[in-house]
Amino acid sequence: MQGISELIKILLIISVYIFIFIIFKYLYLDVKLMRNLRYDKYPYLKLLNRKSDISFKVEETYNIYKSMKIGRATHNDIVIKNDFIDKYHAEIKIEEEKYFVNTYANTSLMINGKVIKGERELKNNDILQIGTIKFVFIREIGE
């Protein structure tokens, strides 16, 4: 009887440690995931503004893994709730491994300081300005 309860106690302590280990593993995966977000294999838009200057919600990076729409409305893939941005402002398209930015009828945006209407190809390190928000487009070549 003595032996059994001793054994159960040891099993119990082991099970508590297994629990801690599992939780720890989850947290480890969490950290790993956080670190990998920015260095994904997809090209991405990186925010250039200081985040403290912005009073609305913008992510630091947006990975471009499909054609994506930018705008104020929640149906867009990249939602930026700023008054200087139209409900449906622009679209980033992927065609034959090339990236294009396309504005809608009455919107415009700036690439490297020039006002753009209609469609244009995006290259690595192009600076994309939508309203007051600036992004840099980064596409690592060779991947």
Binding site for other proteins (CB under 8 A): 1, 5-6, 8-13, 15-20, 22-24, 26-27, 29-30, 33, 37, 40, 42, 52-57, 63, 65
DSSP element (H, E) containing 4: helix 2-36
**Interatomic CA distance for residues 19 and 1, integer angstroms:** 27
Choice between 8 and 127, CB closer to other proteins: 8
Q: In the bound complex, what is the minimum distance in angstroms from residue 58's beta carbon to other proteins?
A: 9
Q: In the bound complex, what is the minimum distance in angstroms from residue 113's beta carbon to other proteins?
A: 26
The answer to whether 46 touches 61, Cβ cutoff 8 Å, is: yes
Choice between 61 and 107, CB closer to other proteins: 61
**Interatomic CA distance for residues 135 and 35, integer angstroms:** 20
